[in-house]
Structure formats: structure tokens, C-alpha cells
């Protein structure tokens, strides 16, 4: 369990940086985004959740993201840890690969444990609209079929 917490913490640090926004970060409103991911009714631990702008991907787009904990809960980070995401509509993708060498400083990822559709923004069927009105956690109930 402690090793899993350490892995999740390391992944968050890699994903979100050192907790300080970059000097060139745009100054757009950021709103907290949290939620839970389940697969066939069970929490998914260690999955990467990414928000992809519904307006169409641009090379300069940011990708707000987070990692699920043991209860399947996640909090989205954009410029700093758990700061949230900018206003807008997002397709949500979820990836949950096997980790071949848990505890290693550089994990090696194996086979994806979720159906491929969950990694494709226009096929995942998962969406969220981020605004100051988004107060409650969002829930995504994934299925293995």
C-alpha cells in the first residue's frame, strides 16, 4: 500500500511539476475539478485522467490531468498540483496500463487494462464542463465490455 502511494505521488509530481506555475503560464481562470473513476463498479487505482479541449486540439493546448487513488478519486492539475482546469468543455480520457516494475524510479508500462475507447477523446463518451459552477465531484463509471 505504501509503495502504491509513493508511486502515485511520484506520478503526480511528474505530471504537475513542482507545484509552481511556469512563468509563461496564461492567466486564465482555473477551477477545481475532482471526481471518481470506477470500472465495473470497482474503484480504479493509478489511472491517468486527461481533459482534452472539445474545441479541437491545438499544439499549444494544455492537458489538465490527474491520477486516481486507491478509492478511484482524482483531482485535476494544470499549472500546479490540484489547481483544477480552465473554463470550457472537455472530453475525458482514461488510461490504466499495467506497471511492470512497481517501485522503480522509472516505471515501465505494459498492457492497457481499459478498453481502447477510453483513451480516444471522441470515443470515450466521457465529458465534463469546467466552470466556477462545477462544485461537486464528477463520476465516470467505466465498463470492461
Helix (H, G, I), strand (E, B) or coil at 13: helix
Number of Cβ within a 10 Å radius of residue 34: 16
Query: Would you say residue 15 has pLDDT above 60?
Result: no
* Residue 140, beta-bridge partner list: 37
Instruction: State the CATH architecture for 2-19+27-142.
Output: Sandwich (2.60)
pLDDT of residue 62: 79
**Sign of torsion, CA 14 82 24 47?**
positive
**Sign of torsion, CA 72 89 87 53?**
positive
Query: Would you say residue 137 has pLDDT above 90?
Result: yes
pLDDT in tens, 95-134: 999 988 878 888 888 999 999 999 999 999 999 999 999 9
Amino acid at each position: 500500500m505504501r509503495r502504491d502511494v509513493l508511486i502515485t505521488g511520484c506520478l503526480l509530481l511528474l505530471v504537475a511539476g513542482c507545484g509552481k506555475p511556469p512563468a509563461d503560464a496564461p492567466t486564465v481562470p482555473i477551477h477545481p475539478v475532482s471526481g471518481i473513476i470506477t470500472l465495473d463498479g470497482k474503484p480504479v487505482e493509478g489511472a491517468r485522467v486527461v481533459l482534452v479541449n472539445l474545441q479541437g486540439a491545438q499544439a499549444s493546448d494544455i492537458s489538465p490531468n490527474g491520477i486516481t487513488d486507491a478509492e478511484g478519486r482524482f483531482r485535476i492539475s494544470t499549472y500546479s498540483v490540484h489547481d483544477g482546469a480552465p473554463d470550457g468543455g472537455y472530453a475525458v480520457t482514461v488510461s490504466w496500463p499495467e506497471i511492470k516494475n512497481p517501485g522503480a524510479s522509472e516505471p515501465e508500462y505494459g498492457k492497457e487494462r481499459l478498453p481502447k475507447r477510453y483513451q480516444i477523446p471522441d470515443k470515450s463518451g466521457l465529458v465534463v464542463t469546467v466552470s466556477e459552477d462545477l462544485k461537486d465531484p464528477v463520476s465516470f463509471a467505466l465498463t470492461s465490455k
